[in-house]
Structure 1
Amino acid sequence: MSEGTKVSAEKAHVESYGAGGVRAARSQEARQRLLDAAIVAFAHRGFHGTRTRDISESAGVSHGTLYVHFSSKEDLLFEISRTGHERELTVVENAARSSSDPAEQLQAIVHGFVIDHARNHTSARINNYELEALADEHQLEILEIRRGIRHRILSVIEEGARQGQFVVEDAHIVTTAITSLGIDVARWYRDDHHWSPEQIASYYCGLAARMVGRAPTSS
């Protein structure tokens, strides 16, 4: 592309969205680059081993730009954690609403929960292993979301037991076991793994079915 063509394209972009819209888009792009860079840095160096300058340099923005979008390194971590946990809660809620049958609900929950942790394994590791690095008020907010995830899964298992579809001695222990299976996927899964997220999710659905005393369904 020639220089003249680039200028024309930029001019058309500004005229289409307006100068304010372009600035907002660029600001949002810089913010997302900072989040992406922080995820990589926290995953490789750990929260405490990462400097804010490491993040800004990796994102290709000035160090001062980071503080335009985030008040601190901890604020970056909180945004990553909040976004990830809210996404997981949405996955679980949507799966639970996909059917009125507890057995189908549980299968949908496990399937979605496992796939989410596989596809987003890098940020999921940060969400689970850097929780203690969050400020107290931010920890409380994240723990509330986690309780929501757990409560939704527990309610499905308890309803399945009430209807006689599930046979469980302790629904709380089974809930912990099922959520732990999904969460742990993020610890070992990598993008080049020979099992796909869907294959893992399908197998884990079978494990969950056995945990609640049901024969796994064929996928």
Structure 2
Amino acid sequence: MKKIILLAITFLTITAGFAQSKGKATTLLDEVSSKVESYDNIIIEFKYALENTAENVKHETRGDVSLQGEKYLLNIMGTTRLFDGDKLYTIIPEDEEINISKHDPREDNDITPSKMLTFYNDGYKSEWGPTEDLKGRKIQYIKLTPIDSDAEIKEIKLGIDKQTKHIYNLIQTQDNGTKITITVNSFKTNQPIPASLFQFKESRYKDYYINRLD
């Protein structure tokens, strides 16, 4: 009987600790989400790193993204992706080619730029992780696990600056062993950006082949 009681107490202690951890994680994520949604616009400069040790693949690059609501302008690896709220434009200067497609959010399961700061609100279980001191900044990690057991993503570690409540980095591990790390180098908000930034001007690309996918 004493062993049963001891096991019960141990189980309840672990369960209570997990619930508390989950509660803290959810509270912090809610704070981050509220902070992001309070800004008129956000401009981010970041480093993108992809690594797969088994395949001997390692790649690093830098990029930037401007966000305003669902609209975004992303520049990475020589390619520009523009979403004007209705259509997605992929501009590839090296090939002088532009792909234009209608955006359907119901078919979009990827972490797109417009969702990169709030994607964790749906489809993930959250758990409180360790705190690290990085260059004098206290970074709190939250472990995110997809609810969908068939998801290609194994887990995501989301690093959050405890003082600013801004996302510092994202470390995504996939089932095939690939690890993707996105680190924020610059985070600016409420900048005086023109509305034309999120408008596609076809006249600028007279010599480009335009592929309309819809």
Answer yes or no: same fold by TM over 0.5: no
Which TM class, normalised by the smaller chain length? under 0.3
Q: TM-score when scaled to structure 2?
A: 0.25
**Which is richer in helix?**
1
Q: TM-score when scaled to structure 1?
A: 0.25
**Which is richer in strand?**
2
Structure with more relative contact order (C-alpha pairs < 8 Å, separation 6 or more): 2
